[in-house]
């Protein structure tokens, strides 16, 4: 999967050699989301995601420079069958408003359809919830709010 446009934008699936180039992007994403950006194992997680066939990790490049990324995984469940969770979507500040986030998101939705997902899910962090534009962005694609609550347990 690769999407190119006239403005020098390219969206592609990340490869195992992209780890070092993605470090500044992921660090900026964590800082913006209020997540501890210390590298406590996330580089290994990134490598595992890139290698996992149930995961899609996309990189957006503008004139060959990485400026954004998106990631998703799919799972199979009784209720919905295959569903894809679009877990991360990030574009560096100076590149926002240029359609890069939309290109990443649309490529991620295409991947979800390609792997047979019947549903796409996004989870908004507190920072994402405070950003009304982010919910409106997802809503523009037909996403609706859910009454379900996420709980997690670190193992």
Terminal alpha carbon distance of the chain = 34
* Length of the chain as a residue count: 155
83: tokens are 């569903």
For residue 114, the model assigns a pLDDT of 96
Rounded-to-integer distance, Cα 64 and Cα 94, Å: 16
pLDDT band at 78 (very low <50, low <70, confident <90, very high): very high
For residue 58, the model assigns a pLDDT of 96
pLDDT of 152 above 90 = no
Q: 63 near 4, Cβ under 8 Å?
A: no
Per the domain annotation, does 150 fall within a domain?
A: no
CATH number at residue 8: 3.40.630.30
For residue 37, the model assigns a pLDDT of 66
Per the domain annotation, does 67 fall within a domain?
A: yes
Per the domain annotation, does 49 fall within a domain?
A: yes
pLDDT band at 113 (very low <50, low <70, confident <90, very high): very high
Per the domain annotation, does 126 fall within a domain?
A: yes
The CB density around residue 4, as the number of other CB atoms within 10 Å, is: 12
Containing domain of residue 108, as a range?
A: 2-139
Per the domain annotation, does 148 fall within a domain?
A: no
Per the domain annotation, does 87 fall within a domain?
A: yes
Per the domain annotation, does 70 fall within a domain?
A: yes
Q: What is the pLDDT of residues 16-47, one digit of tens each?
A: 899 888 988 998 988 887 777 676 678 888 88
Q: Which residue has the higher pLDDT, 42 or 122?
A: 122
Per the domain annotation, does 97 fall within a domain?
A: yes
Domain count across the chain = 1
């Amino acid at each position: 999967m690769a999407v190119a446009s006239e403005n020098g934008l390219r969206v592609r699936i990340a490869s195992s050699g992209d780890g070092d180039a993605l470090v500044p992007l992921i660090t900026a994403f964590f800082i913006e989301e209020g997540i501890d950006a210390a590298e406590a194992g996330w580089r290994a997680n990134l490598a595992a995601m890139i290698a996992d066939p149930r995961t899609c990790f996309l990189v957006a490049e503008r004139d060959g420079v990485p400026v954004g990324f998106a990631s998703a995984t799919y799972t199979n469940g009784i209720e919905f069958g295959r569903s894809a969770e679009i877990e991360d979507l990030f574009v560096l500040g100076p590149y926002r408003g240029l359609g890069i986030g939309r290109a990443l998101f649309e490529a991620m939705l295409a991947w979800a359809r390609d792997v047979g997902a019947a549903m796409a899910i996004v989870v908004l962090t507190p920072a994402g919830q405070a950003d009304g534009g982010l919910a409106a962005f997802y809503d523009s694609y037909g996403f609706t709010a859910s009454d379900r609550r996420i709980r997690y347990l670190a193992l």
